Structure 1
Amino acid sequence: MKVAKYNGLGNDFVMLDYDALADYSALAEKLCNDPQFDTDGLIAVKTDPLEMIYYNRDGSRASMCGNGIRCFAKYCVDHNLVNEKVFPVETLAGTMIVHLESLEPFHCSVNMGRPAYDTEKLGLPKGQVLTNFSLEIAGAPVTMSSVFMGTIHTVVFVEDPIAELSLERGNLICHHPLFSQQTNVNFVHVLNDHELVVRTFERGVGWTLACGTGCCASYVVARDLGKIKTGATNLYLERGPLVVSGTQEITMAGPAEFEFEKEVETC
């Protein structure tokens, strides 16, 4: 099987053409954890219509991936699967609209749809407060907010998101019993009205260099709580910024890169 590796600001993926007979859960576990790839997830590219099929490195299916869809778009361009500058991509989270902005270097924006404060989508009990609620984590209360942004996200505002990388709070919040489907966890520091620093613990993956849907969720929660103003906002990750904007519908813009392609044995 011919597979490729792509990344969006360091959030990396094994990418391959869709095969109806493939066991993608098992394939994700095998290839993502193979030292020659060592990626955060696997993306199968289905055509007619274009559809992004995404699995985390632990083999779990995810409805959407923000950095993944930019890599999906570059894969489609590299393999001549699209001829338009604007095209739709089907996902489990709905139809996402990709706008190609530059090919060299590759840069695109994606309409990521509308955020939802919805206990059912978030896998939380009915009646659960969704903004500024507190959980006891590692013996201390932590204030957080949860929002569905193509997938389940929880946002925690902190003074030093980078320091969280050496702590257990991301993992403990992700697997807290309150979240029946687990949650992605975004630690966010507000620099000013239009700049945030974000580090994300991703369910099914762990700490990741970048999370596109996590940046969108961080923007939405910060905006809705009055911590930033509505409008184009730079969200700084380990390898560069994503730009997120929007009121009702959220747009994410950023790069994607091809790393290499090779043939592998899948048996």
Structure 2
Amino acid sequence: MRIEFTKMHGLGNDFVVLDARERPLPPMDAAFAAALAERHTGIGCDQLIVLEPSELADFRMRIFNADGSEVEACGNATRAVGLLHGRPARIETRGGLLRSGPTEAGISVEMGKPRFAWDAIPLAYAMDTHALPVAWEELVNPVAVNVGNPHVIFFVEDPYAIDMARLGPMIETDPLFPERINVNVAAVAGRDSIVLRVWERGAGLTRACGTGACATAIGAMRRGLVDRRVTVALPGGPLQIEWAEDDGIVMTGPATEAFRGSFDPADFGIII
């Protein structure tokens, strides 16, 4: 049995997409996902995406980070599968029900409403998520927000001056965050512009993170640093983020199909 896949990316944040909506796949576990994601011996990706039937939406999207951990949401992947689907869709995720659809500017995704309560992030104990009274060296007093998955955002003078390869994993795995955390460092460039770098939970430093862009924009809006529609510039390119009047987050940006192929599960030690 060979399994077909589609390799896609959103601003360089890349995915292997497996479509199990009509043809069931072998059970996916952390070891299998990590093997496919490995860039030297697997297909290679930041996240593995599995599409499945859903009773709640047009289809269900499961998301596995490169380390094999299954996570709640991924904005760039939602745009990618929206492109693959080719028409407006309701998508079930562990982080909630999302909506995607094509626009002139790419694929637009309704990401739901942000959550700010400490136990919705979640944090290990109660504190003000508007400015957490914590610090890791020069990174201090972050905003915390859950946009389907958990994020902390540090506003700094120059995101590219921060040693994210060292500080990112330190913060991601801090006991303050019982489900680990995505780490964002951002600079406000104007009322409608933010520069952002992201250390992604379970994936590391990434060229783009859709939920990170959403969380950072909401954090800046919550602090009154920017207006309710901004451009977030990531290393891979820009995303447009709007915090709508109904409190829902709308993310718009490109998605690209790179190539298609197939593999034999036995190559990864999976016997069917």
TM-score, normalization by structure 2: 0.88
Structure 2 counterpart of 1:42, from 41, 48, 64: 48
Aligned residue in 2 for 1:80? none
SS at match of 2:261: strand
Which of the residues 61, 78, 86 maps onto 1:52? 61
Q: Quote how far apart the aligned CAs of 1:126 are.
A: 4.1
Question: What's the offset of the Cα at 1:167?
Answer: 5.0
Kindly provide the amino acid, as one letter, of the partner of residue 44 in structure 1: V
Report if the CA contact (8 A) 1:164-1:170 is conserved. Answer: no
From 205, 224, 235, the equivalent of 1:226 is 224
Letter in 2 for 1:98: S
Partner of 1:147: 145
Distance of aligned partners of 1:141 and 1:260 in 2 relative to their CA distance in 1, 3 Å threshold: closer
Instruction: Please list, as runs of the form range in 1=range in 2, the aligned pairs for 1:3-82 lying within 5 A after superposition.
Output: 3-18=5-20, 19=24, 21-35=26-40, 37-48=43-54, 49-77=58-86
CA distance in 2, matches of 1:67, 1:134: 30
Deviation at 1:165, TM superposition (A): 4.7
**Runs of 5+ in structure 2 lacking a partner?**
267-272
From the superposition, tell whether residues 204 and 185 of structure 1 become closer, same or farther in structure 2 (CA, over 3 Å).
same
1:6 to 1:24, Cα distance in 2 relative to 1, 3 A: farther
Structure 1 range deviating more: 19-28 or 177-186: 19-28
Counterpart in 2 of 1:98?
100
Report what 2:123 is aligned to: 124
Percent identity, aligned pairs only, is: 31
Choose 48-57 or 213-222, whichever is displaced more. Answer: 48-57
Q: Residue 136 of structure 1: CA displacement?
A: 3.5
The residue type paired with residue 241 of structure 1 is P
Tell me which stretches of 4 or more aligned residues in structure 1 moved more than 4 Å. none
Contact 2:14/2:46 (CA < 8 Å) preserved in 1?
Answer: yes
Residue 42 of structure 1 aligns to which amino acid in structure 2?
L
Cα deviation, residue 262, structure 1: 1.2
Report the CA distance between 1:226 and its aligned residue: 0.8
**Which amino acid is 2:112 matched to?**
G
SS across alignment from 2:83: helix
- Give the aligned partner of residue 173 of structure 1: 171
Residue 213 (structure 2) aligns with: 215
Q: Distance in 2 between matches of 1:167 and 1:14?
A: 24
Corresponding residue SS for 2:35: helix
Deviates more, 1:256-265 or 1:160-169: 160-169
CA-atom RMSD in angstroms? 1.7
Question: Match for residue 269 of structure 2?
Answer: none
CA 1:141–1:166: 2 relative to 1, 3 Å? closer
For the 8 Å contact 2:82–2:89, the answer to whether it is kept is no
SS at 1:134 equivalent? coil
Deviations along 1:122-162, one digit per CA (max 9) or x if unpaired, are 12134222121232424x56221110001000000011112
Alignment partners' CA distance in 2, 1:165 and 1:99: 36
Structure 1: stretches of 5+ with no match in the other structure:
78-84
SS in 1 for 2:112: coil
Indicate if the aligned counterparts of 1:165 and 1:207 stay in contact, CA closer than 8 A.
no
Task: Tell me by how many angstroms 1:166 deviates.
Answer: 5.3
Contact 2:83 2:102 in 1 (8 A): no
- Distance verdict in 2 for CA 1:141–1:71, change over 3 Å: closer
Q: CA deviation at 1:34?
A: 3.6
Corresponding residue for residue 81 of structure 1: none
Tell me which residue corresponds to 2:194: 196
Q: Which residue of 1 aligns with 2:270?
A: none
Relative distance call for 1:181 and 1:56 in structure 2 (3 A) is same
Q: 1-side partners of 2:66 and 2:164: how far apart?
A: 21
Name the structure 1 match of 2:232: 235
Q: Distance in 1 between matches of 2:190 and 2:65?
A: 33
Seen in structure 2, the aligned counterparts of structure 1 residues 166 and 251 have a Cα distance that, compared at 3 Å, is: closer
Number of equivalent positions: 255
